[in-house]
Structure 1
Amino acid sequence: MTIVQSPQSWIKHTFFIGIIAALTACGGSGGGGGKEPPMAPPDTTPNAFTIPAEQDVEPGEEVISEAVTINGINRPTPISIVGGEYSINGATYTSAEGTINNNQSVTVKLVAPEATNETGEATLTIGGVSATFSIATIIDNTPPSVTITFPPAVSLTEGTTILVRGTASDELNAVESVEVNGLAATSDDGYATWAAEVTLEPGVENVLNVTARDSVGSEGDNLASVTVRHSVDLNIAFPDDQVQFSAPQTVAVDAERNQALVVDVEQRAIYAVDLATGIRSILSENKEGDEFPLLLERTDFNYAGIAVDSENGVAYVGSSTESALTSGPTVLSVNLETGARDAGSQHATSRVSHLAFSADADRIYFGSFQNGAFLALDPIAKEYEFVSWSSNNIPVDGENPLTSVGAIAVDNMRNRALVTTATGEQLVMAIDLSEENPGVRTPFSTASIPNTDNLFTASGNHVLTSITVDAANDRALMVDRGLDAIFSLALGGEEEGARTILSDADTPNALNTLLDPTSVYVEEGMTYGLVVDKERKALMAIDLVNGQRVVLSKSAVSPP
């Protein structure tokens, strides 16, 4: 059947369809047009989050975590922390409760424990979801560092016990204990310094090993060790009977090569003594045809002065005879590698005192024990100048005359030399080395200056034969051959020049006594001093704290 629509009918149907579509777009034919869609329900439970842990943290350090972005919430959400502080988007750190919004970042701050091998944590809670920020301090498996300051690496003693002294330190924790061969050491400063009196097995070499432990249990065995031989007979050779001394006189230290240099006036030789082993060798000796022999031939007393410029590999030795006409150069230079000798000065004198080298001034100081002249030698130009000479009015004022020069040491801190008299009244004079007052003499330590306590020998010839500066203890050490003693002289303070006895037949005891000390030397950085005992034919080591003595190297001598 054919249906025919009129134009009017088509228009009416089209209008009707449009009305239906409009009503549908408005949500139906009912009222309420223009209402907002309903909001999502509140969500204050964030997605799970983690805070990466931190390892190897320094004790006591403030640690800030990596930033964590919080999401999965649609409302301001409560935030709290236990054990630390938090910051939202870089704001000030706080431990108070607060709120955080979606897509904001948070960091946690925590202070590490004060000790190593410890952990710490802070728990951050947001909307009931928690994460823990954990940190761990450095793990300390390293035992304390230990040194033995006395005795030296090898030594000989007649004592049945020996007081071992040393130091201990730990970078991360406190030192809890130090033991020497199982014997607990004592200390009153947390083992920064310690001491232990150890019984020696008689007649043999005793190896003394140090064990130390820190407060977290890190412990080490054999952290330091020395070897001490016991012998009731000190006339034996030590450590062996090779290359023996005949008449050792003076000593200095070549720090670069870890050796002591000893001048032997009978052998006309310079011995090298290995400070690690005590073994002796000849560095330089006279040979036929030498251009510059060691002329240590005075019959009264040879100071046989030796001074070392270790950094430049050279030693300087005083060389003289009975007459200046035959003495050759006053000072010889000695190559510390080869022992080769050369002229250190262009002039000659027959009565050369001890020598002292100042690296600060690059000068060698020496004097005459005949007329009291005190000179400075330029080792490059090989020329010297008079610094002080009483009889020639140098300096002009002429005060505090000095009639002879024996031993010399340089006090670099105060830019002065300390000089002992060689003959007559025994005293110590200070000579100014500054450019402002060169050569000015000031009595430093005498029978009445600074007081009358602990007097050294009052007069004589060649009694105060050696003096050295112990800069670490701000003092000088001096030999007194009349008392067979080592004196300590204060370098500064109200009691400058005050005397105490560091070591003698009674101080600290009668073990390994000095029979004829002729030279004493302290090298900067060493923890003990060196003393030449001419009668024992020995190089001794002396404890700079209490004066105890041991033998470092010696030749055999006949029993008395």
Structure 2
Amino acid sequence: MVRVTASDKTNTAKSATVTVGGVSATFSVTTLADVTPAGFTLAPVTNAALGATVTSAAVTLSGFDIAVPVSITGGEYSINGGAFTAAAGTVTAAQTVAVKLVASANHSTTTTAQLTVGGVGAGFSVTTLPDSTPDAFSFTTKTGAAINTAYTSDAITVKGIDTTVPVSITGGEYSINGGAFTSAAGTVVVNDTVSVKTTAANGTELTREAVLTIGGVSGTYVITTMDDDSAPVAEFKFPTPYTMSEANSVKVRGTASDEHGITAVKLVVGSTEVDATPKSETNGVKDFSSWTATIPLTANAENEIKVIATDDRNNTTLTANANKVTVRQADVKSAFPDEDLQFETSIDGIVYDEKNNQLIIGDTYTEDLIAINVNSGKRSLFARLADFNIYDMSAMVIEKKSNQLYGRARNSNDRIIFRLSLDDKLDVESFDAPYLKFRQNSPRSLIIDNSNPDNIKLIEAQYSRTWANPLYSFDLNSKNLTLLHDVEDEFLTDADKLFGARGGVFDKANNRYLFATGAQLDELKHAIIAVNPVTAEQRIFSNNEVGTGEAFSTLLPNGDTAFLSGLVINNRVNTLYVMEARSNKLIEVELSTGNRHLIAELNYVAGGERERTNFESMITLDESNNLLYALENFRKAVIAIDIETGEKVILSKEENDF
């Protein structure tokens, strides 16, 4: 008997050899083969597409010695990259196996294939992606909404998802489950409720949308404002609400606006209707954003003129609500609007107080400042300067930012500059200006130079018809006086000097002072002079040889000598306006070229003829309405002039017998 101890390894032979009398025999013992593979795993797959065929990563088999059976349920397998099959087979160690299966057709569902190798199994699981696309949702449209009003939609309930999904909005805000409204991106889950809020458009028949997006699905909350049932807004720009005219007609100007097209504007005076002329007409479409009309006036009567506009929705201004002006037709001798507080012998200086919508005029006989209400023409005492030891005021200007009035005058002893608050008439201050006491002619030009907001200056040119005029700067902060231009400078010729300077402005856009000069017969001295604020260098900006267009007048047919009496600048349209006294021409000058255009010849109409007038004082501008106001010294009248049409009316006037 032979005995051999088997190997401690699987599928391994051990033998023993026995020799008897030279004859040998071998006894061999082989251990059992290992048919149980080492454990293995197949990595699961998540977020698989619905119904997709998904293949696992291949695994290498080990831990067994001989071919073992392989089988699968719920899928197919492949050995060493070969064809996939669901049939049973065999594999050997070191071979690779991969599994594939078809993912579920439902979201968030796991499908598993079970692979068994030599009795050792491993599952390959594939889970489909979650449902992040909600069911479609919508909001009920809001119609007839009030303009510029916030509205909130009905709440929708989020359905059709099984995971957290993003939510965002454009054009509004949203609220989740009744919480605070927000426009920031967030998240929602199934069965959350969401409502949307947005503000209706600021106009009729307009649509505003808020778009809510949940998991890539969008719904729009639409708000449409109410139908347009409002009449257009039509109003007068000229004349002002209550004026007088000696003519038998007046040319009015105004504006009209509407959210939609305006088809007609008409003027109604008594039983007469006059169609307005639109600003322009293109392909049959009329632009009534600006309009004009010539209105007949009933003699010696209060002519109430109303403007009626109609839009393309057939909305028409109600007569009772129509904007209106009244023009009194009367003889030029008449007082207007009444005889209260008539001017005395001399009026000088006029400024427009935009903040309070009034004109301030100097009465140099009574030493009073007279306020004229632009809407009514009523005159009232604004301030009695004599109470503050201020006399002979002239050359008034307004510093708009602080609403302060400045002017030239004298006190008991000397020449002064005075300041008066237009908001507090008791806030009055005087600045001594003794340098003027040696001059025999009064200053007629005073300019606010606010090019440096920390250093506002008054620029003053003394007036003389025959002498050249010195130019001074008075700093309102430091109270320092500077001589900018000395007429005694031996290097200056007459061509370089200011003569008869009666009006001046600061042209901020071009950084220069502009003065109206010349009362002499030499027509070339009737000019607009530009002065450099730094060097005081002067040059002719516009006269009958510099610039083209309307000529400045000199000797008139009646023997009078015309002269330039006032300047005002319109920065909005880059234009200078010049009043030429005695010829009574109102001229506009282009600031870019010096070219001149006649706006109007300001004369009264009586008996079909032009009556004598005399505009020797300054003019002032209402820039927002494109109106000028001028003093007519001959009849002590304040005239309103429409820059766009050249039409004039009387705003306020005392009674006279001529």
Q: Scaled by the length of structure 1, what TM-score is found?
A: 0.69
Residue in structure 1 matched with residue 646 of structure 2 by the alignment: 547
Q: Which has the larger radius of gyration?
A: 2
Residue in structure 1 matched with residue 517 of structure 2 by the alignment: 421
Give the Cα–Cα distance (whole angstroms) in 1 for the partners of residues 159 and 145 of structure 2.
Answer: 30
Correspondences of 1:434-473 after superposition (within 5 Å): 437-451=534-548, 453-458=549-554, 463-473=563-573
| Cα contact 1:443–1:449 (8 A) shared by 2 | yes
Residue in structure 1 matched with residue 238 of structure 2 by the alignment: 150
| Cα contact 1:507–1:547 (8 A) shared by 2 | no
Correspondences of 1:248-267 after superposition (within 5 Å): 248-267=347-366
Q: Deviation at 1:507?
A: 11
Correspondences of 1:338-349 after superposition (within 5 Å): 338=425, 341-349=428-436
Give the Cα–Cα distance (whole angstroms) in 2 for the partners of residues 175 and 51 of structure 1.
Answer: 35
Residue in structure 1 matched with residue 375 of structure 2 by the alignment: 276
Q: Deviation at 1:200?
A: 2.1
- Structure 1 residue 333 and structure 2 residue 431: aligned? no
Give the Cα–Cα distance (whole angstroms) in 2 for the partners of residues 458 and 159 of structure 1.
Answer: 28
1:517 and 1:399, CA in 2 relative to 1: closer, same or farther beyond 3 A? closer
Q: Deviation at 1:286?
A: 4.9
Q: Deviation at 1:71?
A: 8.5
| Cα contact 1:373–1:404 (8 A) shared by 2 | no
1:313 and 1:462, CA in 2 relative to 1: closer, same or farther beyond 3 A? farther
Q: Point out the more displaced range, 235-244 or 473-482.
A: 473-482
- Structure 1 residue 166 and structure 2 residue 254: aligned? yes
Residue in structure 1 matched with residue 581 of structure 2 by the alignment: 481
| Cα contact 2:578–2:587 (8 A) shared by 1 | yes
Give the Cα–Cα distance (whole angstroms) in 2 for the partners of residues 70 and 311 of structure 1.
Answer: 58
Give the gaps of 5 or more residues in structure 1: 1-46, 60-64, 73-102, 104-111, 121-131, 297-303
1:376 and 1:70, CA in 2 relative to 1: closer, same or farther beyond 3 A? closer
Q: Deviation at 1:199?
A: 2.0
Calculate percent identity across the aligned residue pairs. Answer: 20
Q: Deviation at 1:134?
A: 8.1
Give the gaps of 5 or more residues in structure 2: 1-134, 148-152, 161-190, 192-199, 209-219, 281-286
- Structure 1 residue 201 and structure 2 residue 298: aligned? yes
- Partner of 2:509, secondary structure, is helix
Give the Cα–Cα distance (whole angstroms) in 1 for the partners of residues 294 and 625 of structure 2.
Answer: 21
Code of the residue aligned with 1:535 in structure 2: it is F
Residue in structure 1 matched with residue 457 of structure 2 by the alignment: 363
- Partner of 1:413, secondary structure, is helix
1:344 and 1:208, CA in 2 relative to 1: closer, same or farther beyond 3 A? farther
| Cα contact 1:314–1:335 (8 A) shared by 2 | yes
Post-superposition Cα deviations, 1:236-267, rounded to whole Å, max 9, x if no partner, equal 11001010012222211111111101112333
Give the Cα–Cα distance (whole angstroms) in 2 for the partners of residues 141 and 393 of structure 1.
Answer: 74
Q: Deviation at 1:204?
A: 1.6
Among 173, 178, 187, the alignment partner of 2:265 is 178
Give the Cα–Cα distance (whole angstroms) in 2 for the partners of residues 163 and 403 of structure 1.
Answer: 38
Residue in structure 1 matched with residue 474 of structure 2 by the alignment: 377
1:215 and 1:293, CA in 2 relative to 1: closer, same or farther beyond 3 A? same
Code of the residue aligned with 1:338 in structure 2: it is K
| Cα contact 1:316–1:344 (8 A) shared by 2 | no
1:554 and 1:68, CA in 2 relative to 1: closer, same or farther beyond 3 A? same
Q: Deviation at 1:448?
A: 0.6
Give the Cα–Cα distance (whole angstroms) in 2 for the partners of residues 398 and 514 of structure 1.
Answer: 34
Among 503, 506, 518, the alignment partner of 1:410 is 506
Among 327, 341, 351, the alignment partner of 1:243 is 341
Give the Cα–Cα distance (whole angstroms) in 2 for the partners of residues 507 and 557 of structure 1.
Answer: 14
Residue in structure 1 matched with residue 278 of structure 2 by the alignment: 187
Post-superposition Cα deviations, 1:60-85, rounded to whole Å, max 9, x if no partner, equal xxxxx99978999xxxxxxxxxxxxx
Give the Cα–Cα distance (whole angstroms) in 1 for the partners of residues 545 and 243 of structure 2.
Answer: 39
Give the Cα–Cα distance (whole angstroms) in 2 for the partners of residues 266 and 455 of structure 1.
Answer: 35
Residue in structure 1 matched with residue 601 of structure 2 by the alignment: 504
Code of the residue aligned with 1:332 in structure 2: it is F
- Partner of 1:276, secondary structure, is coil
- Partner of 1:245, secondary structure, is coil
Q: Point out the more displaced range, 278-287 or 398-407.
A: 398-407
Q: Scaled by the length of structure 2, what TM-score is found?
A: 0.60
Residue in structure 1 matched with residue 399 of structure 2 by the alignment: 309
| Cα contact 2:562–2:583 (8 A) shared by 1 | no
Q: Deviation at 1:209?
A: 1.6
Post-superposition Cα deviations, 1:106-152, rounded to whole Å, max 9, x if no partner, equal xxxxxx99x954899xxxxxxxxxxx998744432332222311111
Residue in structure 2 matched with residue 26 of structure 1 by the alignment: none
Number of corresponding residues: 448
Q: Deviation at 1:458?
A: 3.8
Residue in structure 1 matched with residue 391 of structure 2 by the alignment: 294
Q: Deviation at 1:316?
A: 1.3
Residue in structure 1 matched with residue 613 of structure 2 by the alignment: 515
Give the Cα–Cα distance (whole angstroms) in 2 for the partners of residues 399 and 176 of structure 1.
Answer: 57
Post-superposition Cα deviations, 1:390-428, rounded to whole Å, max 9, x if no partner, equal 53379x999833345321112222221111225432211
Among 307, 329, 349, the alignment partner of 1:230 is 329
Give the Cα–Cα distance (whole angstroms) in 2 for the partners of residues 226 and 527 of structure 1.
Answer: 17
- Structure 1 residue 217 and structure 2 residue 314: aligned? yes
Give the Cα–Cα distance (whole angstroms) in 2 for the partners of residues 327 and 503 of structure 1.
Answer: 43
> What is the CA RMSD across the aligned residues, in angstroms?
4.2
1:196 and 1:400, CA in 2 relative to 1: closer, same or farther beyond 3 A? same
Q: Deviation at 1:491?
A: 1.0
1:512 and 1:156, CA in 2 relative to 1: closer, same or farther beyond 3 A? farther
Q: Deviation at 1:185?
A: 1.5
Q: Which has the higher contact order (CA 8 A, sep 6+)?
A: 1
| Cα contact 1:514–1:533 (8 A) shared by 2 | no
Q: Deviation at 1:327?
A: 6.2
1:216 and 1:407, CA in 2 relative to 1: closer, same or farther beyond 3 A? same
1:482 and 1:163, CA in 2 relative to 1: closer, same or farther beyond 3 A? closer
Correspondences of 1:38-187 after superposition (within 5 Å): 51-55=139-143, 116-117=204-205, 136-170=224-258, 172-181=259-268, 182-187=273-278
Give the Cα–Cα distance (whole angstroms) in 1 for the partners of residues 316 and 488 of structure 2.
Answer: 65
Q: Deviation at 1:444?
A: 0.7
1:164 and 1:255, CA in 2 relative to 1: closer, same or farther beyond 3 A? same
Post-superposition Cα deviations, 1:168-190, rounded to whole Å, max 9, x if no partner, equal 112x3122222221432220441
